[in-house]
Each structure stands twice: as structure tokens, then as C-alpha cells.
Structure 1
């Protein structure tokens, strides 16, 4: 079975870096791994230093580490047991599918004599988010990537907190909207069929419409329900919340963890990024910052006593690109 790891939290805390580092570490350990960015403001390509598009792209597999934890450039093919893939979801690639659902419903309503514009019908889907939104595309592709069996692990770099909460709300919200739409569609179809029968008699059976649209509604709803199953399965999915050692970040993390748990999503650890561990000697300001970070870490552990707390060092100005990912990967569990 394919495992899922989600990295979530407020914007700018380092979710993308964590996802990219985890992906490289898993691939180096021999697992076929796909890293997915669902954030509209993509930066995954920059983190992985690779060209990434809206379709999964295979990258150069990370080299398996030596016993001392360092990678060797002369590793053989056997050292590259895993594969690293990445994709930046483009919501536009999904928009036509969701608009087709609204058009199919509008067609049946009109066939029953109910006059509605496309805009009015599409409002049925506005309970959660507009058709083709990044959240819906993320859930739809979550199912596609996981159920394909192509990868051992799918790592998600999610959008900032507000978008993340909407993503996890989406199966319930859209499920209700689609159930209503299907009910209306069924009523309209029965009215339309009755009218055709009254006018055309037995010949009405020869003018029936295809059930493709009805199947698309049912399939789409089933995929959302499947996404919900995956999201709340602790054996397959883990959500890691990333934050920085700041009071505001701690408060927002508390709300996010509570919301995720209310939704039945497994949260087992927090990742505290950009912790100053080795201040420059003779720098009172650096020392003061380190002490503040230590206080915030103590507060985090006190606030979340049941969660594992993983700390990542502040590498600003010390490492870039793959060096930075390697340093972070060493600290993150896989």
C-alpha cells in the first residue's frame, strides 16, 4: 500500500523544504517516492533544483548514503533502488472536469423545463469552493496517485493553514453538494422522461440520453469519499505540522492540530523549523535569540505533550540547495 505524508502549517515556515527533504531521503532509502505540491504559490521546483510540471516528473534518484551518512557520487545502480518523482498541481488542468459536471446537470434540468443558467447551476457547487479549485484538484489527484500503486510513498507539500483546513473539509462539503445535485438531476430526468413518453409514446425510448454524465457525477463523489478514507487512515496517512519557534506560530498550530483531530486525521509529530542552535560567539543578540527559541521550544513541548517534537536548525546563510536538504533530511523521520 502507498503511504501518505502531509506537511502543513502557516505560510513561510518551510513546509516545501521539509517535503522535498523527506522525498529525497525516502528515495535514497529505496522507496519509490512522489513529492506533490498543492500550494498555488509553488516553490518545490526551487527546493529540488529541478524542472517540475503539472504531471509527475521523474528526477535523478538520490544516491544511497554511505555508512557515515554521506552520499557518494560513484554509487552503482544498485545503490539507487528508489526513485524520486515530483509534481506541482495545476488547478487549471482539472477545471474542465468540474465544469462538465455542472453542464451535465444543467442539461438535464433544462430537459425537464427548468430554466437555469450555467452560472446558477454552478452555485450548487459553491458550498465549499469554486469548481476547479486547488483543494478539489488536490483531493482528486491524491486518490489517483495513491491508488495507482506506482509509488511507495506520496509526500504532500500542502498549502498554508487556511487552505489546508479547506482541503480536509472538501470531501464532506462537496459530498453533500453532489448528493443534492444528483437528487435534482434524477428528479429532472424522471420529469423529462415522463414528458417525452407522453408526447412520443414508445418512440421516446429511442431518444434517451447517455448515462455518461450520471456516471461522472457518481464517480466524482466516490473519489471524494475515497479521499476521505485515505486522509483519516492512521495506518497510511500522517500529517506533520511545521512551525517556527514563535508565539503566533504556536497558537496557529494549536488550532490546526485541534481541527485535524476533529476531522479524524492522524497528527503524531510537530516539526519546529529554523531553531538557532549554535549562535556566533561574542554576539549577544544571537545568544538572546537562542534563549528565546529555547523558551518557545519548552512552550511547544508543554502545549503538545502527546506529540513528538522534531527540531530543525536555522541554516540561513550556511547551506543552500541540496546541502540544505541533506542537513534537514538527517533530522526528519522517514
Structure 2
């Protein structure tokens, strides 16, 4: 298994349970494992029976869990924007603190959850963890998370290029008036911005590296879930994110003979499983049975882990 394992898919398909079960299974094998929830509506703590926050919390032997904090993403994003604004001001552009403040007056900036989540790919890519399992947000959030390194990196690159061109013009004018003194005592924030860009490039490379990252799509044996999964798999492959496994969750594998509704549901699931295998030919399909309405807690997660082949 790759070091980073991401479970994704539409809301309500069981991503959190799959991530929690995987983490428990890996920890039981002796691998130091961190489970990260990147979903703004966190439920990982409920699944594990542990109160979680923005720092890794011990769950059991060899297992820790953490919930990405959007406030941390906001803080990191704001620090970079303010550094960039300072760069533009030094380059001669009229950009006041009030202009920058208006970017944050409405609360969390779009993508603050995703910015916070990105840090877990780098801060925890060290000897401390053998495996990092991600319980990702529903499809739209997850796609923003996966594309954010490219989008932010390109935006910062363009901004720094404009800043460089403007600064060149201003420096020439200053040097005519002040000579070499024009360049004395300059406080440069460019290093912070460049370091952030380097981190983004590293995350982008990591997400595309099949030796280090695996993305598993969780879905239900239902028509709408299959269609959304097809779109997600296509987008992941467009961004070269390794995705080779589908986890079909809550499959009714057998039904009581005297329950017509149960038999119809089991037949529908079997039909959709055939469709999934045909439509996603070449991908591994893991079938997880419907564990029933009482499937909650560690025992249910242990049973789920047996079917996930981790």
C-alpha cells in the first residue's frame, strides 16, 4: 500500500467508516498510522469514539486521528496574501492594508479547508507515520483539494511575475534618483512566498506519484452514485491522480426468501455490481456488505476492515 491512502466519493457513501476501519487495521498490524479528516462536517471522531481537533490525538496503540482546521488554512492563506501584498507595495503598486483586509472580512476564504488539508501531506510525510489515511470531503471539496496545488501555484507564479516586472521598472527609476542607496534596507517577503510555492509543487508531485499515493473511490450500488463516480474517476485521471480501486459499500448480498422487498433490493445491487464491473473494467472492485442499521462502533469497523483488503 502507498503511504498516503485517500477515500473519496459523494456524501453519505461511507468514506469515514472506510477510513476509520483502514486506520484501525493498519495500526493493529503495527504500522504507525494517522487518519486525517478533511471534511468540513467532521464525523471521524464519532466513528472512532474519540474527541478530535486540529492536532493528532491518540486513538489506540499505533493510531492517531486529526481533523483539518479551516482556521489554520485561513491563517496560512492570509499570511501568504499579506506577504504578497507587501511585495506589490514595495514594487510600487498602491495596495493598502484596508484593501487586503477586505479579502477576509467575509470570514473564511474559499478553499480554507483545502489549504489546511494540504499541510497534512507535507507536515506528516516523515518517519513519524508509516501510513496516512485521508477521510476526504464529498466530491466537489475533494476535487478542489486535489487541484489546489496547481491552481494556487499558477496564481502565485503569475502574481510574482507581475511583481517582478513592476519592481524592475520602479527600481530603475529609483536608481536614477538615489543610486545604490535605493536598494538598501529592503525587507523581502518573497522567500516565504517561494517556500509556499515549493510546498505546493511537492504536494502536486506527491498526489500524482503511485508509489506514494492511492485514491480509492467509495460508492453505493445505485445509479446516481455510479454516475458521480464515473465523473470523479475521469477528473482524477485528468490530473494524473492514481485511482485503481472502487469500494462498493452497503451491498445486500443475500436476502430472506420471505421478504420480497429485500429480494428486490439484493437483485438491484447485484445488477448494479455487474454494471460497475463492466463500466470500470480494469479497476479493482472491493465489495463491502451491508452491515445493517446497528453497524456502529469498533466491532463494525473491524468487520468492515476485513472486507477492505488493507
Taking structure 1 as the reference length, the TM-score comes to 0.85
Contact 2:92 2:167 in 1 (8 A): no
- Give the 3 Å change call, closer, same or farther, for CA 318–96 of structure 1 in structure 2: closer
Segments of structure 2 that go 5 or more residues without pairing to the other structure are none
Moved more, 198-207 or 161-170: 198-207
Q: Could you list the per-position Cα deviations for residues 59-106 of structure 1 after superposition, in whole angstroms to 9, with x for gaps in the alignment?
A: 222xxxxxxxxxxxxxxxxxxxxx101110011113222212221222
Instruction: Report the equivalent of 1:77.
Output: none
Q: Give SS of 1:30's match.
A: coil
Instruction: Report the equivalent of 1:48.
Output: 48
User: Aligned to 1:329, which of 292, 300, 305?
Assistant: 305
Tell me how large the CA RMSD over aligned residues is: 2.3
- Give the 3 Å change call, closer, same or farther, for CA 4–193 of structure 1 in structure 2: same
For 1:53 and 1:295, how far apart are their aligned partners in 2? Answer: 41
Task: After TM superposition, list the pairs within 5 Å mapping 1:184-203 onto structure 2.
Answer: 184-203=162-181
Shift of 1:189: 3.6
User: Aligned to 1:101, which of 80, 91, 96?
Assistant: 80
Q: Could you list the per-position Cα deviations for residues 285-320 of structure 1 after superposition, in whole angstroms to 9, with x for gaps in the alignment?
A: 111111111111111111111011111111232432
Structure 2 residue 60 is matched with structure 1 residue 84? no
Shift of 1:122: 9.1
Contact 2:50 2:59 in 1 (8 A): yes
For 2:197 and 2:102, how far apart are their aligned partners in 1? Answer: 17
Segments of structure 1 that go 5 or more residues without pairing to the other structure are 62-82
Q: Could you list the per-position Cα deviations for residues 123-172 of structure 1 after superposition, in whole angstroms to 9, with x for gaps in the alignment?
A: 99xxxx946621222223212212x2210110011111111111221122
- Give the 3 Å change call, closer, same or farther, for CA 214–274 of structure 1 in structure 2: same
Instruction: Report the equivalent of 1:73.
Output: none
Instruction: Report the equivalent of 1:23.
Output: 23
Q: Give SS of 1:330's match.
A: helix
For 2:289 and 2:96, how far apart are their aligned partners in 1? Answer: 55
Shift of 1:6: 0.6
Instruction: Report the equivalent of 2:204.
Output: 228
Contact 2:77 2:112 in 1 (8 A): no
Taking structure 2 as the reference length, the TM-score comes to 0.91
Shift of 1:24: 0.3
User: Aligned to 1:285, which of 261, 279, 284?
Assistant: 261
For 2:209 and 2:274, how far apart are their aligned partners in 1? Answer: 30
